[in-house]
Amino acid sequence: MEQIKQQQQDSTGDGVDEFVDSDQEFQSNPFSQLFNSLLEAKTAAKRFKNANDLNQTTLIGQMKRNHHSSHQTIELDITQDELIVNDVIQRTLLVTGDKHFSKRGHKISLRVPRNAVLLPLCNELSEQHCCLTLDSVDEALMERLTMDNIQSNVITFHPSEKDIDCQSYHVSTAEVIEPSAVSYLFECHRRARLILQQLSNDQQDSRQAVVKCKTIVATFAGSCLLTPDILGSQDTHRQLDSLLTDSQYSGTPELYEFLKDVLISYPDAADIMQIFEQSMLTIFKVDSLKYQDIHPKLVRLCNYSQHERLIKLVIQSGHWLPGGINVSGKSYERTVLGNLLCYSSIVPSLPLMQGFGFSMLHAPSPDFPNPIMMQPSQEELITNSLRSQRQYIVELIHTVFKSSLKASLECRGHVLDWISMCLYHNKLRSSSASQLHFHELARDGFFLNLISVMVQLCAPFMIISSPKLLKIDPAVCMAKPNATSARGIFRLNLHNETKLAEQPSSENNAVNGDTEFGFITEIFFLTHKALHLALPTTLNVYKNLMERLAKNMVSTPIGLANPNLRQEFEAGVSQQLAMKAHLLDPKLLEPLLDFYNTTAAWILRVSNADGKPYHEININQELLSTSAKVPDKFAMLPEFIADSLSQFVIFLGHFAPKILEMQSVKLEPIVICISSLMGGSNFAKNPHIRAQLADALARLIPNTTHNCMLQEIFLESKQMQDSLALAVLNVFVDMERTDNSVEFEQKFSYRHNIYDILEYIWTVPVYKDKIIELSEEVTVDERGLKDVIFLRFIHLLINDAVFLLDEALSTLSDIKKLQQELSEQGLDDQAKQEKSQQLNFSSRMARSLNILGNQTVNALTLLTQSIVRPFVEIGMVDRISSMLNYFAVRLAGPKASSFKVKDFSEFHFKPDQLICNIALIYIRLGRSERFCKAIQEDERSYTPQLFYQIERVLNKLSRLDIVEEFKELHDRVNKFVTEKEALEAAMPEPPDEFLDPIMNTLMVDPVILPTSGTIIDRATIVRHLLSCQNDPFNRKPLHLDDIVPHQELKERIDQWLKDNNIIRSN
């Protein structure tokens, strides 16, 4: 027996020839000596011939090789059609029923594999007609799959040397003897598919044979899964699951066609359920969120989603939508799709009530367990790994969504329903109560992944030049669902959302509830809704976390010596790194920026009735003008689109400016859109949204530290050059016209960003010229000063400066007192704690007030470089002069020491810069005699010693460049002081009818207020109307253009002056 085994191992597998049946041949073979008689040897040979392990390496095969020359060929008695079918089956299944496979000669229709499995059914075929037919494929497959020892039945084809490449091809032994039934059948199907691709259209007979063979294989695969017992111990369902998760074939066209043909072979839904049920059960399990657990489930679902009948099984399961009565947003995390979307490095944060507010209790991330000791290179390695895994997971989830949407209209409806219902049940994420309901809402990582997928779904039509973009219909935002309405309206349900612009009459914007809206419209607005729920909350969590960490860093090392504080700090750093890995991933942020940029281009197109692209719009006339008409379609847009867009840009500017720089070449639409909505009160009615847009634009403004690449847009865009100056002035002024919707203190923080934009504008000549053009609109006609935007702008600048600097200086005085009290001995602990709290509060206030006050005075300093006349018109000149006088007294007068705190820089207090700027404004406006006269008429602050005090400070600061000019101004003012003294000495008491009812001074230019009939001096009412457009005596609406000159009274006043020999300067 050992000799026989050695012969089997040494065998080269030349093939199996016909058996030798003569007694002499059996007796001459050593194999016959193992039996008691010649009859027993023949019986055994026949039994081995029919056995499953018959092959060229058996002793029988060796016997046949001894009696047949390897060069001998066998001529087959079969037709060409039969040969084609045989060779197709042989090449597809890697099996043969031809005992003369190795000696076929030139009787070959296709290149055949050099190795194949000899089937027992060969014994039922004649030597000259030993071909396989399509009718025998089932039997061939059954024999191949039920073989106990496949390898022992492998035989080899030996073509001639010259014909080796044209007649045959190499196939690996592993492929030939594949033991897994499902894998083998899949490979058979794949080989058939490959043969079809190689055959030309002219080879119709061969193609038909391949198609039929492929179909039989798919049907047999289904049978093996329906009745796995026919294959003995093979677990075909596990084999199918392994195939679905095989990285080599998952998601490939080969696997797609294989599953497709299986589905076609079994039209009965019950059969399909039985075939795929066990594999699907693994998808429905909601367990670990680790990559190694999520990935296999997702791969299976990707393969299923490509087939309508399979994805329907998933949809019809009880795991597609949350079950039960009390469905919450968080319950969507336990659905098939939601569980996959939860994959994220972000550790869920729990809100913890502390005092009167909330802070976030952060658990440390398992990915960053010891962040304080972690090296930057290690942190980068972990971050890149997390991002790479997340990107791959999101790409697979996108494949699931995309394939499911394309599977059928019914499947598309179910997917959109899932998205819609998920957003609906998580609607509280966009409210201020989101932290109160955190346990009911889906987590941040879930929503970041969802918006990544949805933005990818929109990518095919979110191209600025794409005609598909025009298919987005804003009318869906006004449609109300009813019993017969289209499903798309129900899914969106946007009719109750706050709209961006003022609404026209309901008749104009009424939308039929049965109107059908296309997929592009639905997915576009669903994506924006998802962004609105995802971004603001998540971005604020990250921002608050960073602020909290920064605050803790200030207490280092003393504060972090406390073990609890240190543990909290390390947990916060760990969470920040984990959140950064997901939230600041360029692969997340760049597509979002592209989406918003295209949205901006679409918004601009909708903003004009003609549908012109953004680069053809006259922004000043069509959006920024107070008379600009809002198109009906634009009026339908929900406000949250502009809200989330601006918050996203602000976030990028703060935490990821490089993303803006890298995308700067194509960001012109978003820059123009933000600027236009910011400046167009008709198109964005909410002042808070407009202020937020100003903040976003300030993040895009080029400066020395970042966004330099955006410079090209601001320098070359004609729309920006024409409109930015007016937009800035509009939003600055409109912060005051908000009917108390903006708190008094809040407007100053809103204007902080506008000052940044204004400073940039002044550095670019083309924008500076536009500001100067707007200032030239300030004119005086027969009715008086014309009410224009620039006049209101400078009036509010002066008001802001007065309030901010006055409050800042008063607060600094309080701080000085508190600092002195805290340095005194004798204070008990409670008193020290109270005063320390007061000092901390006052310090924060002082910093804020000084920053804003400095910006306001800087703006006035910039403007007066090139603009003078509007500041010295009646109604303005006394305001600017009294402001300068007041702060000059406080900064340079004898009481300046009252606000000299210990450290000016701690409170952003810059008295030297302030006094120099005030002096510069004095000098520039001092070219006007009206201004010089107004300086000395300010009885509240002006004294003859004031300018000497200012000169002393300037000399102390070595600002000799302005001292001489300031002295010249001083001389001009003194001339008017002398005239005033002479006038006052000669002037008798004026009649009461000549006195201003508010200021109680002699009127210069009396006017009548038509709303109340009151007579008042023009300068007094102008000051009032620039701040508040109503009659101060009855609060009725009143505008500058409404006031009526009282010419008759003016003439009587002039005559009275003349009668008293008083000459008054113009």
What is the Cα–Cα distance from 106 to 83, expressed in whole angstroms?
12
Residue type, 1001: T
Where does the pLDDT of residue 350 fall: very low under 50, low under 70, confident under 90, or very high at 90 and above? Answer: low
Q: What is the pLDDT of residue 554?
A: 61
List the Cα angle 391/395/399 in 5-degree steps: 170
For 398-407, the pLDDT digits (tens) are 999 999 999 9
CA dihedral over 193, 194, 197, 201, signed as positive or negative: negative
Q: What is the pLDDT of residue 59?
A: 27
Average pLDDT over residues 425-449: 86
- The reported pLDDT for the residue numbered 36 is 44
Q: How far apart are CA 394 and CA 498, in angstroms?
A: 32
Amino acid at 812: L
- 762 falls in which pLDDT band (50, 70, 90)? very high
Say which residue, 4 or 842, is predicted with more confidence. 842
Q: Among residues 401, 377, 248, which one has the least CA distance to residue 315?
A: 401
pLDDT at residue 605, as a whole number: 95
pLDDT at 880 over 50: yes
According to the model, what pLDDT value does residue 110 have? Answer: 64
Q: What is the mean pLDDT of residues 233-251?
A: 89
* pLDDT, tens digit (0-9, with 9 covering 90-100), for 968-981: 999 999 888 877 77
What pLDDT band is residue 388 in, cutting at 50, 70 and 90?
very high
More confident residue, 351 or 274: 274
Residue 57 has pLDDT above 50, yes or no: no
Please provide the average confidence, as pLDDT, over all residues in the chain.
83
Supply the pLDDT for residue 126.
Answer: 55
Hunting for tokens 């494929």 — which residue is that? 137
Q: For residues 162 and 765, which has the higher predicted lDDT (pLDDT)?
A: 765
Residue of 99 and 793 predicted with greater confidence: 793
Strand order in the sheet with 115-118: 95-96, 115-118, 154-156
Token code pair at residue 90 = 């042989």
- Overall average pLDDT of the 895-908 stretch: 86
What are the CA-CA distances from residue 602 to residues 430, 471, 478, 522, 681 (Å)? 24, 11, 18, 15, 19
- DSSP SS3 for 500: coil
Q: Which stretch of DSSP H or E encloses residue 357?
A: strand 357-361
Output the pLDDT for position 247.
Answer: 86
- The pLDDT, as a whole number, for residue 955 is 92
Q: What confidence score (pLDDT) does residue 165 get?
A: 54
The span from the CA of 302 to the CA of 399, in Å, is: 6
12 versus 153: the higher-pLDDT residue is: 153
Per-residue pLDDT at 14:
38
Residue 564 φ/ψ, nearest 5 degrees? -65, -45
Q: What angle do CA 814, 819, 822 make, to 5 degrees?
A: 125
pLDDT at position 78 is 67
Confidence grade of residue 323 (pLDDT, cut at 50, 70, 90):
confident
**pTM strictly above 0.95:** no
Task: Look at residue 696 and tell me whether its pLDDT is greater than 90.
Answer: yes
Report the C-alpha dihedral over residues 613, 614, 620, 622, rounded to 10 degrees. Answer: 40
Predicted pLDDT at 53: 39
Please report the pLDDT score of residue 50 as a whole number.
Answer: 43
**What is the dihedral sign for C-alpha 749, 753, 756, 761?**
negative
- Provide the CB-side half-sphere exposure for 430 (13 A, CA): 20
Tell me the C-alpha distance between 132 and 1011, whole Å: 106
Neighbouring C-alpha atoms within 13 Å toward the C-beta of 761: 27
**107 — pLDDT class (breaks 50, 70, 90):** low
Q: What is the token pair recorded at 1051?
A: 């003439």
Cβ neighbours of 765 (radius 10 Å): 8
Q: Identify the pLDDT of residue 45.
A: 47
Give the distance, in angstroms, between the CA of residue 103 and the centroid of all CA atoms in the same chain.
Answer: 67
- Altogether, the residues listed in the chain come to a count of 1066
Instruction: For residue range 180-197, list pLDDT tens digits in order.
Output: 999 999 999 999 999 999
Strand partners, 854: none
Count other C-beta atoms under 10 Å from residue 896's C-beta: 16
| pLDDT score of 859 | 94
Query: Is residue 204 scored above 70 in pLDDT?
Result: yes
CB 467 within 8 A of CB 514: no
DSSP per residue over 510-550, as a string? ---TT----HHHHHHHHHHHHHHHHHHHHHHHHHHHHHHHH
Q: What is the pLDDT of residues 999-1030, one digit of tens each?
A: 888 888 899 999 999 999 888 888 788 777 78
Which tokens is 535 given? 């971004």
Average pLDDT over residues 376-390: 94
Query: What are the backbone dihedrals phi and psi of residue 784, each rounded to the nearest 5 degrees, phi first?
Result: 115, -155
Residue 129 belongs to what H/E stretch? none
671 has pLDDT over 70: yes
pLDDT band at 64 (very low <50, low <70, confident <90, very high): very low
**pLDDT exceeds cutoff 90 at 709:** no
Give the pLDDT of residue 640: 95
Residue 125: which H helix or E strand, with range? none
Number of CB atoms found within 10 A of residue 422's CB: 26
Which tops the pLDDT comparison, 961 or 865? 865
Per-residue pLDDT band at 510 (split at 50, 70, 90): low
Q: Choose between 987 and 90: higher pLDDT.
A: 90
